[in-house]
Amino acid sequence: MHRDTEKRGGVYRFREFHENPGLLERFLDSQVGRPWDKIYSEIRSNPDSRRSIGLRVLDRIKRLVATDCFMEKKQVLRPGGWWGPYPPRELYVHPKTGLLCRPRPIRYDRPQPEITRIMIDEYHWFEKIEGIWYRLDHEMCRYTWSIRNQEYMVQTGKKQCSKKELKRIAECIETGCGAFYCEVSWGKKRWVPARPGKVSRRK
């Protein structure tokens, strides 16, 4: 246990819990896995728990630990308002075991947009246009203006993909090799490489 949250002579340091809310949260985290009734009775055994600071700390503990959970279809839930029951997002007391528990972190995996470009090389690629895959060919052209030379890419060919090319595209989408998706920001398009293993499977 943290040195500032240790139990000295059977008395918890309520003043430090009141002045440093993070200290109280760390203390409760250190008690995860213990019976909540035992934890709470130990806290209430402190004579300071009946004073103003102690009452404020106890009130904060009630907000940090959900004690009104119930089981529904083998899932721990809290009673909600008009939106209905929901899983606890903070420390909670398990309705069956009575132990202080910590909820599992929820991982939000944002789906990747649909892949619409497969690069062949710098000047050739497959691109999905209005639901149809095409092979687009390009070349660099030089434009001379006065004494300055400028290069720009122009499209020289566009052909609908064959079955063999569609099979190659499907393999690239599966592996993420050379796969890109289009991202629009402030009205400008940019092509972003697909993340390996998280490619879109929409066709």
Instruction: Report domain extents, the chain.
Output: 3-101, 117-193
Per residue in 115-173, pLDDT tens?
Answer: 999 999 999 999 999 999 999 999 988 776 666 777 888 899 999 999 999 999 998 88
Per residue in 80-117, pLDDT tens?
Answer: 877 788 888 889 999 999 999 998 876 766 677 889 99
Among candidates 151, 117, 112, 158, which has minimal Cα distance to 137? Answer: 158
User: How many angstroms separate the CA atoms of 35 and 175, rounded?
Assistant: 49
pLDDT of residue 22: 81
